[in-house]
């Protein structure tokens, strides 16, 4: 099972449910935390996509940070968990993601979501339409991303976005493109993840809203089976895809339903734990994991999980581990 780390990139008692916190934000602390995670043998570095969380509104922009981490690291996965499609034009996002995948020599995992922080959108002048419209925008974004990752001069005309001969050269290192990680748990988001995603991200902590996680997993498997019945394989605008190979290689027998849907090979779960231990290097040692980790990670492994993402929230009043497992 691979363990990942959520990079600490904003300070104070923030709004975000999952991202870690510092008492103050500075370059050295953020990079030192990432370095410690890598030195501990963790397999990936994630960062949240926000601009002004915490009481002092201090935060680093995620793609700029990922570019720095791509240069600073050699062999760990990198990605936004998850990137809000409302903050960037999809064609620009395709170019940014391609650049990070190239700079990192093929280590990007592209997290995508429909966005949620309405106040942040208002402050920065971004439109924040209703949730169904944002999900429509997410689907068009994924279609544009896949086209620009694989086609020579893609053209797309949708209800929300248009591109015309949008060259994206050079192409990403990963073929056909970096893994797409779709975050969300509502019915429409589950269907969208079943159709397009390589990985599905969903929160399972006590703070998670809506139906219990067991219900969401059952519905997700149901949507995956439906897609398998109608579309056992898929391609991006006629371009070859390696999603089926990924599925055969990475899915376990306990995740057959997921492996049959349109390339979904992983599930990412998010929950939280509390512990007095703060150094990132302690995460890698099984003997020093927080008390609930063995039980939780064993549970996820039994269901086919192959990755477990972790992060430490550090403030004067509390220290919290946030974790997510990927199936």
SS3 readout for 229-260: HHCCCCCECCECCCHHHHHHHHCCHHHHHHHH
Alpha-carbon distance of 22 to 13, in angstroms, equals 9
Q: Give the full edge-to-edge strand order of the sheet including 2-6.
A: 77-80, 44-47, 2-6, 307-314, 319-326, 266-274, 199-203, 180-183, 110-113, 83-84
Q: Which domains does the chain have, with CATH numbers?
A: 2-326 (3.20.20.30)
Give the mean pLDDT of 232-260: 27
- Is 148 a residue whose pLDDT tops 70? yes
Mean pLDDT of the chain: 72
31 and 72 in contact (C-beta within 8 Å)? yes
Kindly report the pTM of this predicted structure.
Answer: 0.75
User: What pLDDT is recorded for position 208?
Assistant: 58
Q: Using CA atoms, how far apart are residues 43 and 41, in angstroms rounded to an integer?
A: 6
Three-class SS of residue 99? helix
User: Residue 19: its pLDDT value, please?
Assistant: 47
pLDDT tens per residue, range 51-84? 987 667 788 899 999 999 999 999 999 999 889 9
CB atoms within 10 A of CB 226: 15
d(CA 139, CA 134): 9
- Given a cut of 70, whether residue 18 has pLDDT beyond it is no
Q: Residue 34's closest CA among 2, 58, 70, 63?
A: 70
The Cα–Cα gap between 246 and 139 comes to 22
For residues 324 and 79, the model is more confident at 79
Q: How many CB atoms lie within 10 A of CB 143?
A: 18
Distance of CA 45 to the CA centre of its chain: 10
Given the structure tokens 């791509």, which residue do they identify? Answer: 70
Residue from 223, 201, 203 nearest 213 by CA = 203
Go through the chain and tell me how many residues it has. Answer: 327
pLDDT tens track for 34-43: 888 888 888 8
């Amino acid at each position: 099972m691979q363990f990942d780390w959520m990079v600490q990139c904003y300070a104070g008692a923030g709004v975000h449910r999952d991202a870690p916190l510092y008492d103050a934000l500075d370059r050295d602390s953020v990079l030192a935390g990432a370095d410690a995670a890598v030195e501990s043998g963790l397999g990936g570095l994630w960062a949240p996509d926000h601009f002004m969380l915490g009481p002092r509104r201090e935060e680093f922009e995620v793609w700029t940070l990922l570019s720095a981490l791509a240069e600073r690291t050699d062999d760990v996965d990198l990605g936004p968990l998850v990137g809000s499609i409302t903050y960037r034009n999809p064609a620009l996002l395709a170019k940014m993601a391609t650049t990070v995948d190239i700079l990192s020599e093929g280590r990007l995992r592209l997290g995508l979501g429909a966005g949620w922080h309405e106040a942040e959108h208002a402050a920065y002048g971004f439109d924040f339409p209703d949730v169904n419209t944002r999900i429509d925008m997410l689907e068009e974004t994924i279609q544009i991303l896949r086209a620009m990752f694989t086609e020579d001069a893609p053209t797309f005309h949708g209800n929300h976005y248009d591109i015309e001969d949008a060259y994206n050269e050079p192409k990403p290192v990963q073929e056909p493109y970096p893994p797409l990680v779709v975050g969300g748990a509502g019915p429409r988001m589950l269907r969208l993840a079943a159709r397009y995603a390589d990985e599905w991200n969903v929160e399972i902590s006590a703070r998670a809203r809506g139906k219990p996680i067991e219900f969401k997993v059952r519905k997700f498997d149901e949507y995956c089976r439906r897609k398998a019945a109608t579309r056992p394989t898929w391609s991006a605008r006629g371009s070859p895809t390696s999603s089926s190979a990924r599925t055969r290689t990475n899915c376990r027998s306990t995740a057959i339903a997921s492996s049959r849907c349109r390339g979904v090979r992983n599930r990412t779960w998010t929950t939280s734990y509390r512990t007095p231990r703060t150094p990132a290097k302690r995460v890698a040692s099984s003997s020093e994991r927080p008390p609930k980790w063995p039980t939780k990670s064993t549970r996820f492994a039994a269901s086919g999980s192959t990755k477990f993402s972790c992060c430490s929230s550090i403030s004067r009043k509390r220290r919290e581990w946030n974790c997510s497992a990927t199936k």
